Structure 1
Amino acid sequence: MADPKIQISVVVPLFNEDESLRELHDWVKRVMAENNFTYELLLVDDGSTDNSWGVVEELAGENDRVRGFRFVRNYGKTAALQTGFEASRGEVVITMDADLQDSPDEIPELYEMIHSGRYDIVSGWKKKRYDPLTKTIPTKLYNAVTRAISGIKLHDFNCGLKAYRQKVVKSITIYGEMHRYIPVIAKWNGYGRIGEKVVEHRARKYGHTKFGLERFLFGFLDLLSIAFVNKFGRRPMHFFGSIGTLMFVLGSFMTLWVIGEKLYNLYVGLKFRNATDNPLFFLALVFIIVGAQMFLAGFLGELFIKQFVSKTSEYSIAEKTDNTIEPKHS
């Protein structure tokens, strides 16, 4: 639950950023003081091998609004953000990268856009970027595919600078490389008021990027996973059963065709030909077997979902009336 005394939780995932951490901390602290915000700064060290954790400990010792978390190894940005989301206590949760390419000066306007009640999420858009073409071109392609699949009209899904209503981050769970798709996951969980703000993209001051081109491949696979689970996660038979039924029907039709052809040849006195001499025989066999397996996969999925739903529920309740009585569980 949100702490009414904390207006903003700033969540910063970091990996080998010891050179920039103090400067980032001082910048965030100055912005908060200038705007009289109550805040907490959550620094999540994703298994750094440099002195990042030492800097985090120093900052936490100097400023009681700093909270540090350190992973035993490198789990990835998504894991760091999930940890920060779970620990956050502010009314508005703002995420940003630790490399100083995101400007803390954007925080007041991002906060106001969420606090005003207009949006559940506000995503930054780095309209002018300081990245090489090897990064910007794949990013544009990735954003276009994500827009097409999700229906969310954002220009920059991958921007680390985002603001969330606290209910949003507490109602979602991310893993893998799914931090890029938090707006997509949130929308499919009922938080569809998603806005966008043009933000400053600063040139990297220290170190080098920690991400390679493989992240786009993994990110695309995660997008397909999210889309599939959201659409068919609670009704797997609709997916597997539909494909299985179609393949089984096609295989059965091919089988009847092969049998009919053989009977016709016998009737008209044509030279006898074994059914196995017809390529359709083997294709029909494959379709029938795979179709039956797909249908069985859907059936097993339905059994699993039934057991899962009987024990827990993923339905998000926005509000309850004061006289709502919690049901008793036997």
Structure 2
Amino acid sequence: MSDSSIISNSTLQISIVIPLFNEDESLPPLHDWIVKVMEKNNFSYEIIFVNDGSTDNSWNVIEELAEKNKNVKAICFSRNYGKSAALDAGFKIVKGEVIITMDADLQDSPDEIPELYDLIKNQEFDLISGWKKKRHDPLSKTLPTKIFNAATRAFSGIKLNDFNCGLKAYKVEVVRTLNVYGEMHRYLPVLAKWNGFTKIGEKVVEHRARQFGSTKFGLERFTNGLLDLLSVTFITRFKKKPMHFFGTLGLLSFFIGFGIALAILVEKFFGSNMIIEREPVDMPIFYISLLAISVGTQLFLAGFIAEMIVIHSNERNDYIISKEI
């Protein structure tokens, strides 16, 4: 091992975070490819593999790579927690100035790293998202992806073509602010923007055909995409002030119902009875007004309880790390 591959005590230039699940065959060639790019460009770097509960030989392969290259770090989850948890764990230990994320299946090219680094470090972008403009995927994957990206652009106002591309680059300050959990890895640019990092760009990157194994994502990621989008939209806008959402809807519903009920009573007791010819209890609109009042009250109380939870809660992931390198 050459001296250039040893991490110095000074700040590293690049941290590469690679979440993985059952990718033992692709890890050695991916590692060697990354090291080749790093040494060619004289980058100081670290590679952080996050083993998301693999059931194959992935962890043993990572241990072998770490023995050969002291720049390799690794985290092993006790079970499969998902890509968001894996990224969150990796982000917590990075030491580089620029953070690169990429998938472990060799579909992302490490040759893109130097240009991604330049965009962040020298052109001062906060976040660069890869765009797999030419994809090696069937229509059953590319069409839902286009729909998902169009919906996310409309909701977030961020003009990216490929939100879910695993190959991204960040300033380290950006990842320090990200709390990635659930399925939020799809919306990292949205979360970054909400945290005040608005200089977000895009770079066309190579999409390579998978060499080993099969994809770990099924059609359920598309069926869940809309729900995830609504969730992240709510979280980014009302995360700290849920009363602004629930309270507004609650007051609106309450006053609509109260207004209808009041109009019925006023007309009944003080009007000409031209509008109301029956008893209020015989009118469907009377019960609609009561329902609106009841729903409004419950929404307002839900907002109040949510405010109390936000005040007294500490955000955290619940993944368990069983091993580390």
Q: Distance in 2 between matches of 1:191 and 1:257?
A: 50
Unaligned 5+ segments in structure 2 are 1-7, 316-325
| TM-score normalised by L of structure 2 | 0.89
| TM-superposed deviation, 1:154 | 0.6
The answer to whether the Cα contact below 8 Å between 2:47 and 2:73 also exists between their aligned partners in 1 is yes
The answer to whether the Cα contact below 8 Å between 1:262 and 1:273 also exists between their aligned partners in 2 is no
Distance 1:169 1:49, change over 3 A: same
| TM-superposed deviation, 1:235 | 2.5
Unaligned 5+ segments in structure 1 are 313-330
The alignment status of 1:172 with 2:172, answered yes or no, reads no
The answer to whether the Cα contact below 8 Å between 1:258 and 1:278 also exists between their aligned partners in 2 is no
* 1:327 aligned residue: none
SS of the residue 1:40 aligns to: strand
| TM-superposed deviation, 1:303 | 4.2
Q: Which among 222, 244, 253 is matched to residue 247 of structure 1?
A: 253
* 2:295 aligned residue: 290
User: What are the residue-to-residue correspondences of 1:114-263 with 2, within 5 Å?
Assistant: 114-263=120-269
Q: Distance in 1 between matches of 2:21 and 2:141?
A: 19
Q: Distance in 1 between matches of 2:232 and 2:277?
A: 53
Q: Distance in 2 between matches of 1:42 and 1:223?
A: 28
| TM-score normalised by L of structure 1 | 0.87
RMSD: 2.3
| TM-superposed deviation, 1:91 | 1.0
The answer to whether the Cα contact below 8 Å between 1:93 and 1:166 also exists between their aligned partners in 2 is yes
The answer to whether the Cα contact below 8 Å between 1:3 and 1:90 also exists between their aligned partners in 2 is no
Q: Aligned pair count?
A: 308
Q: Which among 70, 77, 80 is matched to residue 71 of structure 1?
A: 77
Q: Which among 98, 108, 122 is matched to residue 104 of structure 2?
A: 98
Q: Distance in 2 between matches of 1:103 and 1:185?
A: 25
The answer to whether the Cα contact below 8 Å between 2:264 and 2:276 also exists between their aligned partners in 1 is no
Q: Distance in 2 between matches of 1:202 and 1:221?
A: 29
| TM-superposed deviation, 1:118 | 2.1
SS of the residue 2:208 aligns to: coil
Distance 1:268 1:65, change over 3 A: closer
Aligned-residue identity in percent:
58
SS of the residue 2:55 aligns to: coil
Amino acid corresponding to residue 22 of structure 1 in structure 2: P
Distance 1:262 1:7, change over 3 A: same
The answer to whether the Cα contact below 8 Å between 1:244 and 1:293 also exists between their aligned partners in 2 is yes
| TM-superposed deviation, 1:272 | 7.8
| TM-superposed deviation, 1:3 | 6.5
Q: Distance in 1 between matches of 2:164 and 2:158?
A: 13
SS of the residue 1:129 aligns to: coil
| TM-superposed deviation, 1:127 | 0.5
Q: Distance in 1 between matches of 2:247 and 2:176?
A: 34
| TM-superposed deviation, 1:264 | 7.1
The alignment status of 1:19 with 2:51, answered yes or no, reads no
The answer to whether the Cα contact below 8 Å between 1:10 and 1:41 also exists between their aligned partners in 2 is yes
SS of the residue 1:42 aligns to: strand
| Larger RCO, structures 1/2 (Cα 8 Å, 6+ apart) | 2
Amino acid corresponding to residue 63 of structure 1 in structure 2: N
* 1:279 aligned residue: 284
